[in-house]
Structure 1
Amino acid sequence: MTSQFFLMLVVITSTSFVFMLFIKLQEKTRVRAKRLPPGPWKLPVLGNLHQLNGDSPHVSLQHLSNDYGPLMFLQLGSVPTLVISSADVAREIFRTHDLIFSGRPRSYAAKKFSYNFNNISLAPYGEHWRAVRKIVIMEILSSKRVQSFQAVRYEEVMLMLQFIAQSLTKPIDLSRLTLLLSNNIVCRVAFGQKSDSGEYNGRSRFDELLHQAQALLGKSSMADFLPWMGWLNMFNGVKASIEKTFREIDNFFDEEIQHHLDPRRPKPEHEDLVDVLLQIHRDADATLNFKQIKGVLMDIFVAGTDTSSATLVWTMAELIRNPSVMRRAQNEVRGVVKGKEAVEESDLSELMYLKMVVKEALRLHPPAPLLVPRETTEDCRIGEYEIPSGTRVLINAKAIATDPEYWEHPFEFRPERFLNSSIDFKGQNYELIPFGVGRRACPGINFAIPLIELALASLLYSFDWELPPGMRIEDFDMEEAPGITMHKKTLLFLMATAYTST
């Protein structure tokens, strides 16, 4: 009897709340209907949630934008949402309203994994964010600091090539190898050593935890769109999964910080990023606490491993589907590096076609096709439309980079399109923004690109590549996996043959 009464109470309370929410949303819609950008018809309570494909929301949004325009308004549950799908709209907004569009929405997973928004990527815009971002750009991701880790990148790429050379009789799992490469480099750069199993024939527990964290951050729950349903996370396993994964990662970070604080620790030959962050923590003029240090470390791992690996996999997948492009890229690399044992970073500046290959891969396969969501901090006007404060903003970087208004044959892999073109991916050309734009653009671009270019050039220099026996290019799967980072859904297995220069 008690359980039935409790169930009835929950149903009545929920129904009443839904009804009041519906009335409130209807009133808000009527008030603003004439001023908001166009968008599709909305269902009560759910709004436009039913029109999004959970696995590929950027595809759903692109289809909707084709009907309603490049500046589109959606109601995702109780969250007003603006979708930007063209370079022209992005240019207008971020040249004049970048500051207003620099907020960040809050979700349960984001709050937990950012140490209560004590990081860069997910922290709300404000004094704290500016202070931490300045530290990271000046001390962690400066050109000088990135250059100082050149030997680490070279050594880890060589280890990956050695593993491939020992595995030539069977298909090579490039999805796993490139992820291990990224993780090993980031671990050595951050902690001075690899995680507990950084060998290329295994995968560490820390790697698994990062993969889980990235999946949880990229997975939307109903509570993110209907906050009053947050209690569901206690029963559907979401809260438990987030808490468990966070606790294990937090323990890992704590152990590394305590190891670096141990006075018995031998003085390292080169300081790692934890050394740098702890030194800033000790500085009387700095206010970097341990939560902020761990928040920065979470940013470095979540943003610095998956994205580089995914870009390498998509690039190799496109090259295997376009043999003439691969041959041209290989001929360039082998012509520049001829006579050396391996590619060196000093060679990269001469590999102009390879740079176009990477640029084209980032155009077709931006690591985060919707970038990191933003939120408006004030009311503002865009053309004839009024955008309310607190509106979530999704920038469809994939739709922008495949807009036929700017790109000829937009869905074809054609690196040559960048010949005699000044378009780059550093945030100044709105047609190509895989790393974002404005104040909230990804600050890790200087860290990611040297790794991607060195690894790609090395794979092309040392080996010839082909599909496994029995597989045809026509049957090659290019489906995208769901998640905050756009991975290839099926693992990339290729056959390698050692290249011998003559």
Structure 2
Amino acid sequence: MSSKPTTNAAMDLYYCTHIQTFAKMEQLINNNGSSWSELIIYNNSNDFIVAAATMSILILAIFWLKLTFFRSSSPSMPPGPYFLPIVGYLPFLGHDDLHKQFTKMGQTYGPIFKFNVGSRVHVIINTPELARVVVRDQDKIFGHRKLTVATSVITYGGQEMAFSDSRSTNLRKIFVFEVLNNKNIEACACFRRDAVRKTVNDVFSKVGTSLNIGDVAFSTVANVITNIVWGNSRSDKGGNNGLLGDEFQAVAAKIFELISRVNISDLFPSLAWFDLQGIKRDTMVQHKKLDQIFANIMKERIESNSKKLDDGIDIDEKKDFLQILLDLKDKQVLNLHQIKGLILDIMLGGTDTTTTLLVWAMTEIVRNENVMKRIQAELEEVVGINNIVEESHIQKLQYLAATIKEVLRLHPVGPLLFPRAPSEDCMVGGYIVPKGCFVSMNFWAIHRNPLYWDNPLEFNPERFMSNDKTTNYDLLGNNLQFVPFGSGRRMCPGLQLADKMQMYILASLLHSFDWRLPEGEKHDLSEKFGIALKKLKPLIVIPSQRLPNASLYM
């Protein structure tokens, strides 16, 4: 029963029972001839006591009903666990399996819940229906991010795409339409081919020995990206401007580790000046190393361009990304820090995410021998056993593409993606999501939810071979049950390039070699949580020659 009928019923009862009492009281009070003693005597009567008590109860009842109605009708923040003063829920959060912990919390508190960590409110979303509200229905409001201490240092104060706020939309447009358009991506195909062929040759020289596939993948991806970013700057003497090899891998790994760490300075901004954990200091050290590399290469390129122009040499032929960005600088579209920030996005984001994907892909393919055989059969049909893989073959490799999608479903590179911060208070799932809080979408949970996937824990590329348009699972985030690269205005801007690289590298490795675990080794799928969901233990595999003609490996 609603509060309004209950209140009216109480009023009717009250007036029916005590209207005569009220009338007599009014007569006594308004009667000039009445004495105070008469009124006092009447006040002590049973009727007056009952009337006063009823009035008091009635007022309290109305107040309670209104308060209850107000509370029930006004939206509240999402439910969540109790937390401690000051530190919030921080002591109860795991470190290596937050995506799994949030999945379990969703089963307790519902598809949207919140918890506090320090001064921050975090909201977690575990269903595609609510994710749609964030990335589609209210994408403009949720298109913002907040810089942490570490990301502010690394990104030149947000002058790039991944973590920037107000400048993000403009930079993304420049990056997508001016740098990563189809024409420029195709123009850099020769750089990708050189890097992949080099890897095939290196692996061929180590046939029969144990290889860390993570090192192979990182070296290949770093070579590809370095070639397309500033391939024209590479020295004929084998120099790579200090970006390849163990040093860069160590710097990149350290940066991602620093960005992923919980920083007291972020949770309690008043303590940021003290840098209690030294995260800002350590991040500045790593940033300085990368910045020096970027600055040196840009300086060399500018000087080289100037010399070529003086000598009458055309610098427009076969442009790499660095030259494209410098051309935009000359047009006053970008400044130097923005160029460095965009290069940072490509170099760090591209190498880490693609390497992580390749490691998981090789893990699942080697683990599922029938999948490897079917991929290789497709490669034989499309490429030929006496030929090498070219990028022109990629569009025809449908089963390999389905396998990569299945890898991304079970092992999403970004299990929670980067948190979003709404620019104003808004409603999601009937709850208030306050301005400036941190909203994360648990796509690891969505990708494994049996409500949306049959046998969700089974590795089955066949699920992505369906021609049913109602279940179209592309990489663009159109179906929010499968969002490996994000969706909406914060979707990965390098998706097209990343897809080309991962398909080309995997196809080349699987066409050129057979792969197996060392004798006695067991398959392992343990994870290490972070910005990227990495494999905990390195994948060690042994390659063997697959193509009959050894000259194809040269």
TM (norm. structure 1) is 0.88
Q: Residue in 2 aligned with 1:26? A: none
**Cα offset for 1:248?**
1.2
Does the 8 Å contact 1:197/1:203 carry over to 2? Answer: no
* Matched residue, 2:40: none
Instruction: Report the identity percentage.
Output: 32
State how far apart, in whole Å, the 2-side matches of 1:272 and 1:425 are: 26
Deviations 1:182-238 (A, max 9, x none): 111111111225598669xx81533332222222222222222222232452x4332
Residue 458 in 1 paired to residue 508 in 2? yes
CA distance in 2, matches of 1:501, 1:143: 35
| Cα shift at 1:443 | 0.6
- Secondary structure of residue in 2 paired with 1:410: coil
Confirm whether residue 407 of structure 1 aligns to residue 453 of structure 2. yes
Among residues 240, 252, 267, which one is paired with 1:225 in the alignment? 267
What CA distance in whole angstroms lies between the structure 1 residues aligned with 2:322 and 2:547?
41
In 2, distance between residues paired with 1:373 and 1:331? Answer: 41
One-letter code aligned to 1:39: G
2:321 aligns to what? 273
Indicate conservation of the 8 Å contact 2:210/2:541, yes or no: yes
CA deviations on 1:70-110 (whole Å, 9 max, x unpaired) are: 21111122111111111111123333111111110220011
Could you tell me which of 206, 220, 226 is aligned with 1:167? 206
CA distance in 2, matches of 1:52, 1:441: 27
User: Which string of whole-angstrom CA distances, capped at 9 and with x for unpartnered residues, describes residues 112-145 of structure 1?
Assistant: 1111011111111x3x222211110111111221
Contact 2:75 2:432 in 1 (8 A): no
CA distance in 1, matches of 2:356, 2:314: 35
Cα distance in 2 for partners of 1:194, 1:89 equals: 47
CA distance in 2, matches of 1:346, 1:239: 45
In the alignment, does 2:530 pair up with 1:483? yes
1:120 aligns with 2:161: yes
- 1:386 maps to 2:427: no
User: Does the 8 Å CA contact 2:386/2:548 hold for their aligned counterparts?
Assistant: no
1:492 aligns with 2:539: yes
Q: Aligned pair 1:264/2:307, yes or no?
A: yes
For 1:240 and 1:485, the matched residues in 2 are separated by 23
Q: Tell whether the 8 Å contact from 1:197 to 1:204 is kept in structure 2 after alignment.
A: no
Write the distance in 1 (CA, Å) between the matches of 2:448 and 2:377.
28
Q: Which runs of 4+ in 1 moved over 6 A?
A: none
Q: 1:194 to 1:470 in 2, by over 3 A?
A: farther
Please, what TM-score do these two structures have when normalized by structure 2? 0.80
Q: Secondary structure at the match of 1:494?
A: strand
Aligned letter for 1:174? Answer: I
The aligned length equals 463
Aligned counterpart, 2:330: 282
Asked if the contact 1:48/1:75 (under 8 Å) is kept, the reply is yes
Cα displacement (A) at 1:477? 2.0
Quote the Cα distance in structure 2 between the aligned partners of 1:151 and 1:395.
38
Contact 2:386 2:547 in 1 (8 A): no
Q: How far apart in 1 are the matches of 2:240 and 2:298? A: 20
Match of 1:215 among 230, 250, 257: 257
Of the candidates 218, 231, 234, which is equivalent to residue 179 of structure 1? 218
Q: Which amino acid aligns with 2:124?
A: V
1:244 to 285, 290, 299: 285
Looking at structure 2, the residues matched to 34 and 139 of structure 1 have their Cα atoms a distance apart, in angstroms, of 44
Mapped to 2, the partners of 1:153 and 1:189 lie a distance apart of 7
| Contact 1:70/1:85 (<8 A) preserved | yes
Question: Are residue 51 (structure 1) and residue 99 (structure 2) matched?
Answer: no
What is the deviation of 1:149? Answer: 1.4
**1:267 CA drift (Å):** 5.7
Paired residues of 2:210 and 2:518 also in contact (CA < 8 A): yes
Decide whether aligned partners of structure 1 residues 368 and 383 sit closer, same or farther in structure 2, where only a CA change above 3 A counts: closer
2:542 match: secondary structure: strand
- Residue 305 of structure 1: SS of its match in structure 2? helix
Q: What SS does the corresponding residue of 2:534 show, helix, strand or coil?
A: coil
Relative to structure 1, the CA distance from residue 59 to residue 383 in structure 2 (aligned partners, 3 Å threshold; closer, same or farther) is: closer
2:229 alignment partner in structure 1: 190
Amino acid at match of 2:528: A
Question: For structure 1, which segment, 476-485 or 438-447, has the greater mean C-alpha deviation from structure 2 after superposition?
Answer: 476-485
Structure 1 contact 113–246 (Cα < 8 Å) conserved: yes
Matching residue of 1:346? 392
The Cα shift of 1:178 comes to 0.5
Give the alignment partner of residue 175 of structure 2, picking from 131, 136, 149: 136
Compute the displacement of 1:340 (Å): 4.1
Residue 35 of structure 2 corresponds to which residue in structure 1? none
Q: Tell me the secondary structure at the aligned position of residue 482 of structure 2.
A: coil
Give the residue type in structure 2 aligned to 1:467.
L
Match status 1:370 vs 2:413: no
Contact in 2 for aligned 1:218/1:485 (Cα 8 Å): no
Deviation at 1:365, TM superposition (A): 1.2
Indicate if the aligned counterparts of 2:112 and 2:429 stay in contact, CA closer than 8 A.
no
Q: Which is worse superposed, 371-380 or 146-155?
A: 146-155
The DSSP-based 3-state class of the residue aligned with 1:206 is helix
> Is the CA contact (8 Å cut-off) linking 1:311 and 1:367 kept in structure 2?
yes
Preserved CA contact (<8 Å) 1:380 1:388: yes
Which residue pairs with 1:60 in the alignment?
101
Verify the 8 A CA contact 2:123 2:440 in the aligned structure 1.
yes
Whole-angstrom CA distance in 1 between matches of 2:135 and 2:392: 35
Give me the whole-angstrom Cα distance separating, in 2, the residues matched to 1:362 and 1:379: 33
1:418 corresponds to 2:464: yes
CA-to-aligned-CA distance 1:289-310 (integer Å, 9 cap, x gap): 1111111111111211111111
Q: For 1:379-415, what per-residue CA distance to the aligned partner results, in whole angstroms no more than 9, with x for missing partners?
A: 1112421111111111112111111110111122110
Partner of 2:32: none
Tell me whether 56-65 or 386-395 shows the greater mean CA deviation. Answer: 56-65
- The answer (yes or no) to whether the contact 1:58–1:370 under 8 Å persists in 2 is yes
Q: CA RMSD in A?
A: 2.2
2 CA distance for matches of 1:466 and 1:204?
A: 25
Give how far 1:33 is off. Answer: 10
Partners of 2:423 and 2:270 lie apart in 1 by: 22
